[in-house]
Structure 1
Amino acid sequence: MKFCNNCLTPDLAKDQNSINIIKQEYLKDDCPWFLGYSGGKDSSALLKLVIIALSELNSFHKEITVIYCDTGVENPVITKYVYQTFESLKAECTGLGLPIKYIIAIPKLDDRFFVKVIGRGYPTPTNIFRWCTDKLRINPVKQIIDSYPKATVLLGIRKGESEQRDRAISKHSKTEYYLTQSGSKKNQIFSPIIYHSIKDVWSTLKFNSLPKSIDTQKLGELYKDAGSECPVYRELPGKSCRSSRFGCWTCTVVRKDKSISKMIENGYSQLTHLHEFRNWVAEFRDNPKYRCNQRRNGQKGLGPITLEGRKIILEKLLEVESKSNTVLIQKEELVRIKELWQKDIDNPNYIENTPFNNVFST
């Protein structure tokens, strides 16, 4: 995405209003603050305004924790950008003397994508069985935040994104800039850019000099024609990734991953093998030859992927890892996968359609 001064004009009043609100809320109490960051435009604009607001204060009485969740199956191009940006932000905020720390959250081992799919035999996510968002993205962040009795969670939620979202915001609003959490309600959600339009967000990113570590031009190039961000916290009921650009390369919830296809067309050839695997596994998961006829709860129906099927997926994944020269699965995940295979072999209640073959030769 290329910027031109005729296309964007800064709405300084809107940004300044958000900055003033951030300072006012920061000074109000000692409740810890957590900012959910995805690397996308909305969370980047939010982080910019928070950093500017803190730089205008004379003293600080609490830290702000910025959390990025690395699901393990993030688009590697985005992951590289986020990790580089995080390191630069750490150094810049330290230099500015700001009380901001940066944390990367990861899912529990048993909740990771390939442990679920290859180890336990979960079919890759669908609209009907969308097990991924909570386990991979929401829960790791929630676990950090919920270790505190009460917290304020800053999110780049904006009105005007959809009628459904606007209705949910109106329903759950406490005050002008707050939304209640849909679960325990012990935490409050603070949305300083709730009245920013998409144009406002890009204007915020382009026309505010701090922090220098957020490269607006690079971010625009990654977006190309702009996309949405996967949620980093369960701010509203029913919010899901949908066709997000800043999401997982393995996502099979959408029928076609147009964002990855577009990135490949625009020169990100390193994603080609990953995209081919994603398309292959989306079809493979529905092959009845490699699905049990009984679910784990004992009911008849399309059950887990068979051990033979899981072995085929692992072999294919390792082949793609080698071809793409990209680490796609961790050693600890491979160890856990083999443990889960053995657990199924030893479980008399786990029933497959055909006798087990040797699955440990991979």
Structure 2
Amino acid sequence: MTLAKQFDLEDYIEFIEQEEFSGLPLKDYVANVQRVYLQDTRPWVIGYSGGKDSSAVMVLVYLALLGLKPEERHKHVFVVASDTLVETPIVVNHVNRSLEAIQRGAARDKLPITSHKVVPKTNETFWANLLGKGYPAPTRSFRWCTERMKIDPVSSFITDKVSQYEEVIVVLGSRSQESASRAQVIAKHKIDGSDLAKHTTLSNAFIYTPIDMWGVDDVWKILRFCHLEQQDTPYGVKNKWFDKYELEWETPWGGKNLVLWNLYKDSSGQGECPMVIDETTPSCGNSRFGCWTCTVVTKDRAMESLVQNGETWMLPLLKFRNILSRSTSPKLKKKYRSHIRRDGRLAFKTLREDGEKILTDDYTTGPYKLKYRKMAMTLLLRMQKQLSAKQKDLELITVPELHAVRHEWLNDPNEPDWDDSLPKIVFAELGLTLDWSVDDTNQFGNAEGELLNEIAPKHGVSPQMLKKLIDLETSMSGLVRRSGIFSKIGKLIQQDWESADDIIANNLELRQSQMRQSNHVKQLEQELKLINTLLEREGIK
């Protein structure tokens, strides 16, 4: 083995051979990883989140490859980290440094390991959806972010490797103790007589969980926090290795786990957000290694703990996140969000009585109103400018995302931004003039919009509907064939452009009319039934 030497190699070998993990010596787990690695030519994809579990499985795999002969390291290992672009900044820095260290260590030790980071598509990022399209902040009942920002990027990476190698093995740091539901899913898809399970959604991809039976103390043991005093050992783990060395052991690739331990310690021991590869992976919830914008839980206790433990520069992030969380309150939904969905219709809530659907006068809310999206964007950019003075490499929203948001605002299905507000907001807050594409802008602007806002109501017409009709005509002007234009005009006119109160009132009149018709039909049916009964009595059929 070639190792970064902070301690004697003999001690390291002794640790592998003597220390038990879930009742078995570590050498047995190393040998099992080597056996699975050598039994076929399928490359490995290691899901790396930077947290304790994925770091532990990374150490185990690295040790296993170090123990193989150079000629036996015959297939590639891709270490993949998913960056949602709204990860907690200190975690992003930790993951980036870790990936770089793994890459350097693998090159030094001549291991077939490479590090990779995947991100969501520009039009599917958190800000493109929330600020651009107006999607509400995620909740437990509407967690739209997981698939777009976590599952899809990793799935694309795996699918790409499948196309190159036909089959791949995805190595995860999943543990049964950490998630019983995830353990059940893996067990359900387990292949008989094999250490592998079938991927739940991707064909030709298989799952390998080498530390499945480990406890949390095993995880911290292999991460070697030897710098800690006995009473400070993580989760109460105590053995001779914590007493033997004053400094922490380096990872096999040369990185240090002190940063990782401090992250957990400063966040009150909150868990990590696992590498999400499908919908069966547990949500991040209260986890430490997740998005700073996460509103799935009411309070982000992990970020609060980080602020209390010295990371005070993160306080603006916490406040912004809390603003997003409050906007999901049932009492505030109708203030911040449109009554019209993105399909242009108001959706009434329904109840069930005796198995029948009953329409109510209440309705579900749609996307955030454009004026609130503009306010949130202003706050976000202002916060980025303030924090950048302290964290030089901090970027809360990327330039491609700004372009994506602008595109959504200009083409909003309900509130088209004729004023083209985003370039003005960016310049006002950051002093930047980006390369804004003129092709996306409309020939009509704020002056024309204000004129429509003034004139349209006098004629009982929605100004927003007129804007969309003009946008449609502009988009199709100059085309030789304007096929489908009447259908598109018809759809726009049929949308619910009135206020919520007017739509509810009209809906009430319609329902009353339908009820009268229904009662009339029922009366006719009863009369017809009575006539048939009388005819049968007279012997007339």
TM over 0.5: yes
CA deviation string 1:242-277 (max 9, x = no partner): 211000000001110000001111111121111111
Task: Give 1:117 shift.
Answer: 0.7
Aligned in 2, Cα 1:313/1:304: closer, same or farther, shift over 3 Å?
Answer: same
Is structure 2 residue 174 aligned with structure 1 residue 157?
A: yes
Relative contact order higher in (CA < 8 Å, ≥ 6 apart): 1
Per the alignment, in what secondary structure is the counterpart of residue 173 of structure 1?
coil
- State the partner residue of 1:316: 379
CA distance in 2, matches of 1:170, 1:38: 22
CA deviation string 1:170-197 (max 9, x = no partner): 3333256433222134211000000110
- State the partner residue of 1:333: 401
Q: Unaligned stretches of 5+ in structure 1?
A: 1-8, 345-349
CA distance in 1, matches of 2:151, 2:49: 12
CA distance in 2, matches of 1:235, 1:357: 41
CA contact 1:154–1:191 (8 Å) conserved in 2 = yes
- State the partner residue of 2:432: none
Is structure 2 residue 357 aligned with structure 1 residue 294?
A: no
CA contact 1:42–1:201 (8 Å) conserved in 2 = yes
- State the partner residue of 1:192: 210
CA distance in 1, matches of 2:269, 2:19: 19
Aligned in 2, Cα 1:221/1:253: closer, same or farther, shift over 3 Å?
Answer: same
CA deviation string 1:70-113 (max 9, x = no partner): 11000100111111121122111111111100001111001111
- State the partner residue of 1:3: none
Per the alignment, in what secondary structure is the counterpart of residue 283 of structure 2?
coil
CA distance in 2, matches of 1:316, 1:120: 18
- State the partner residue of 2:149: 136
CA distance in 1, matches of 2:103, 2:277: 26
CA contact 2:406–2:420 (8 Å) conserved in 1 = no
- Structure with greater helix percent: 2
- State the partner residue of 2:56: 45
- State the partner residue of 1:27: 38
- State the partner residue of 2:421: 359
CA deviation string 1:127-172 (max 9, x = no partner): 1110111111121111011111321000001112244344334333
CA distance in 1, matches of 2:273, 2:195: 21
CA contact 1:308–1:359 (8 Å) conserved in 2 = no
CA distance in 1, matches of 2:99, 2:177: 29
Letter in 2 for 1:256: K
- State the partner residue of 1:227: 270
CA distance in 1, matches of 2:367, 2:133: 7
User: Percent identity between the aligned chains?
Assistant: 34
Task: Give 1:17 shift.
Answer: 1.8
Residues 269-284 of structure 1 correspond to what in structure 2 (within 5 A)? 269-284=312-327
Number of residue-to-residue matches in the alignment: 348
Letter in 2 for 1:342: L
Letter in 2 for 1:217: L
CA contact 1:157–1:191 (8 Å) conserved in 2 = yes
Q: Which of 201, 206, 218 is 2:259 aligned to?
A: 218
CA contact 2:81–2:116 (8 Å) conserved in 1 = yes
CA distance in 2, matches of 1:272, 1:209: 32
- State the partner residue of 2:92: 79
CA contact 1:69–1:104 (8 Å) conserved in 2 = yes
CA distance in 1, matches of 2:317, 2:384: 8
CA contact 1:15–1:204 (8 Å) conserved in 2 = no
Q: Which of 126, 131, 136 is 1:123 aligned to?
A: 136
Letter in 1 for 2:169: T
Q: Unaligned stretches of 5+ in structure 2?
A: 1-17, 225-240, 242-248, 347-363, 389-393, 426-541
Task: Give 1:284 shift.
Answer: 3.2
- State the partner residue of 2:187: 170
Per the alignment, in what secondary structure is the counterpart of residue 45 of structure 2?
strand
Residues 236-255 of structure 1 correspond to what in structure 2 (within 5 A)? 237=280, 239-255=282-298
CA distance in 1, matches of 2:262, 2:410: 46
CA distance in 1, matches of 2:278, 2:320: 32
Aligned in 2, Cα 1:299/1:273: closer, same or farther, shift over 3 Å?
Answer: same
CA contact 2:250–2:257 (8 Å) conserved in 1 = no
- State the partner residue of 1:105: 118
Letter in 1 for 2:399: K
TM-score, normalised relative to structure 1: 0.90
